[in-house]
Chain A
Amino acid sequence: MSDSQTAVHVLKHHFRDMEQQNETSSFGMWVFLVTEIMFFGGLFCAYLIYRILYFDSFAAASSTIDVKWGAINTVVLICSSLTMALAVHAAQLGKRKVLVGFLIATIMLGGVFLGIKAKEYHDKFVEHHVPGPSFHFEVEPEMAEKFHAIDPAKTEIFFSLYFLMTGLHATHMVIGFGLLTWLVIAGSKGKYSPIYYSPVEMVGLYWHFVDIVWIWLFPLLYLISRHH
């Protein structure tokens, strides 16, 4: 289809021109991301306050999480952010195959991330650190030496917040997969062109936001006084 036809077909009836439509959709996406900031913000605020109240228990609980996998996951997610950004770039230039390639790469990296996350959850399950009736926290000697005031009941709060925050983040990634697969299908049909690519950009903004949430989760949850 020639460019003008796609433009007419794609321009919604209540917008004056494509420029207004694109600006409106991206501004709308940013307002939605502000609600996501406040949504995760409530959890971060609860985490911050409990961390101040029970620092030693939080530090002890955090020391049982393998920081190596957390770092690898951060790198994986940053790579997926890169591939997502390049996908948006490809959509802007109308390169259909490159767009679909990068979208699939983003999905793959996301999959790797969730795989590592599942492994970490499994480790926690094995160590009985999943909050609930089966929860049991063993205070190892070197932990007790480094952090004096460890209270096993308070470590359960850390793990509750750990599973809630990383679980909410993982849920947002699964939603991201849904959006990305929809983009892959529509992209391979050539729906996106240099004139109309705002859906790709919207999902890009969403994906980068999910990456930012992890950028904050990694130091807050994994790096509580790891020094010896």
Chain B
Amino acid sequence: MSRLALARQLGELLLAVSLAPFLVGWVAQCRAWLQNRTAPPLIQPWRMLRKLFLKDAALAGHASALFRLAPYVLFGTMVLAAAIIPSVATDLPFARAADAIALVGLFATARVFIALAAMDIGTAFGTMGARREMMIGFLAEPALLMVLFNAFLLSGSTALPSVVEHLAAPPFVIYPSLAFAGVAFLMVLLAENARIPIDNPATHLELTMIHEAMVLEYSARHLALVEWASGLKLFNYACLGFALFVPWGMAARGAGTTGLLLAVPALVGKLALAGAGLAVVETLSAKLRIFRAPEFLAMAFLLAVLGLLVHLRLGA
């Protein structure tokens, strides 16, 4: 791979890592506005991270190495995921090493590690959170995979760059199957990123929470990494959504520096819209009981499969 490509890859990585906290902040801000609260500043997540990094880590006495390793692995997998999802440019050298199925695999790895870490201390809430997280996981993962299958069948490839190139390529076509897939994807996104109606990122009521329950025992730098990673996860999902459903505005293969520079604001714009939309959805919907989550995700799964069938019937 050329040095330029490598540079582009790294640049995109840095962009993702730095934008992720802003996205979280932006969503929180929008929610606050929609709920007539005074909004925290956009920079808030960054401040949070800095504070956490400065603190001393307080570990449970019998916490094992796995517990301390998990946040790094989590962060690592998410960064890697960011490296293979085209956000600004489609020509990503690293994307050849792992296609979209591997991407799902990476998400699963992250999930397994955080769940294991949550069980390590052996507190009631930690294990409960791990169990719920894994349940959401094994329901959401097939749905996500089916969503991706739609795109794969359309583009005849599982490598995300070529998917994007195929979908973005003129002439502009309307894919009815993608409509189904889009809704399904949104539902998966909500579930996977600990959002209402499945989980509530803001809550600290132990019995309703999933993500929070898992990371209860984390503090300081470890917590910082975990939070950063979850921010990255949201970012990744957003970019994945863009790649599948609004693939326009990305720097195509072989596009010059100007193309890249144009692509960045496009991305930011998309993120802003997406964040706002997410906030709206979260505000409008109420949190489901945990037992209803399966139905919610089953619906997502069915929609994705429907999209698949529509594609196979209409060939579109």
Physical interaction between A and B: no
B residues neighboring A (CB under 8 Å): none
A residues neighboring B (CB under 8 Å): none
